[in-house]
Homo-oligomer: A and B are copies of this chain.
Amino acid sequence: MEPITLKDIANALNISVTTVSKALRGYIDVGASTKKAVLKMAKEMNYTPNTVAVNLRTQQTKTIGVIIPSIVHQFFSNVMDGIINEAEKHGYLVITLQSNEKLEFEKKQLHLLQQKRVDGILMSLSNETYQFDHINELLQNKMPIVLFDKIGKLVKCSKVIIDDQSAAYNAVSYLIEKGYKRIAHFRGSLQPQNSIDRFLGYKKALIDHGIKFDSSLVYLCDNNDDFNDGYTNAKKLVNEHQDVDAIFAITDVVAVGILKYFNENNIKIPEDIAVFGFSDWFMSSVVTPTLSSVVQPGFEMGRKATEILIEEIKLEHKKIPYSFQKIVLPTSLVIRKST
């Protein structure tokens, strides 16, 4: 597309580019009739101001970058919904990249966003991200960055999270209070803080209620969102531990894999074994039996992270110092038929 320039309008009207520019900006030293003619011609020619040129002057691109592990994931698509909505309210556009849970991609994409001169970056870290040089380097260069959901505790920037440990603690405490005694945990992969925190919440709930922690009841689901991890670990668990009466799963997808194995093998839920999920995906309300889960506020997480990022972008631009925020969003339990 060849954009219409001020020069095109000036040529069409046989006046100077300066006059056109002044007319479009509403300068008072341009006569009313000229102004009207310029506006009319600009409209006719579909002129749009060249924001790239404007950006070069203000050093702002009015875009923010987002790096998420994967967009094909109901939680992250809810977060993206919140991000895009909030950004648009403030006149920012959103560039989205996916790390596919790989540190290598995350680094590459952070570099792309920097080259693109986005005004700020929102990130949820990949499962492989256990060192943070690539993020710290940008922060040192005064790029506003807000981490959400999967964060690094050691990174010095604003963060929006849920209290995964409390959420897991509440879910497992609920199971214990309902009378379940041998509770297994299908945990997520070892790196991400949220996977660690959910495991710690599970463990703490057991101990606080006088139940001995048994590490053989913890099954590893390497990919937090793999239905098959739930399915195959459920099979393993049934062979290894006949006495388990409840499972707390790292995510709803893993939990649904468990339900499938149990349904296929006539293991009654919740009579034989109860199942508790995490994230409250839409499907959890329609599977059989319907799944109890932790409600994670994805839209609000995206919205809040964006709000903070845009504040920081503005303060940074005005060279006003600011301190980092840590927002912990509340979660709740939704109790359905699986417990």
Contacts and interface: CB of A to CB of B under 8 A. Distances in A.
A53 B117 CA distance: 10
A70 B71 CA distance: 13
A234 interface: no
| Residue with the greatest number of chain B CB neighbours at <10 A, chosen from A70, A141, A227 | A141
A214 B338 CA distance: 41
A141 B96 contact: no
B56 A53 contact: yes
Interface string A87-123: 0100001111110000000000001111111010000
A46 B96 contact: no
A81 interface: yes
B287 A141 contact: no
A63 to B, nearest CB: 7
A248 to B, nearest CB: 19
A260 interface: yes
Residue among A4, A74, A96 facing the most chain B CB atoms (10 A cut-off): A96
Looking at A53, A72, A138, A260, which has the most chain B CB atoms within 10 Å of its CB? A72
Which residue among A85, A97, A113 has the maximum number of chain B CB atoms within 10 Å of its CB?
Answer: A97
Copies of this chain present in the complex amount to 2
Interface residues of A, number: 59
Contact of A84 (B2, B98, B114, B288): B98
B116 A51 contact: yes
A250 interface: no
Contacts of A56: 52-53, 56
A89 to B, nearest CB: 12
A161 interface: no
A78 B72 contact: yes
B51 A115 contact: yes
Given A48-B115, A114-B48, A288-B287, A1 B81 contact: no
Contacts of A63: 95, 116
Given A84-B97, A93-B97, A283-B283, 14 more contacts: A1-B141, A1-B143, A1-B316, A2-B59, A3-B117, A48-B114, A50-B117, A52-B55, A52-B117, A71-B84, A72-B74, A81-B98, A96-B96, A227-B286
Interface of A: 1-4, 46, 48-53, 55-56, 59, 61, 63, 70-74, 77-78, 80-81, 84-85, 88, 93-98, 111-117, 119, 137-138, 141-144, 227, 256, 259-260, 263, 282-283, 286-288, 316
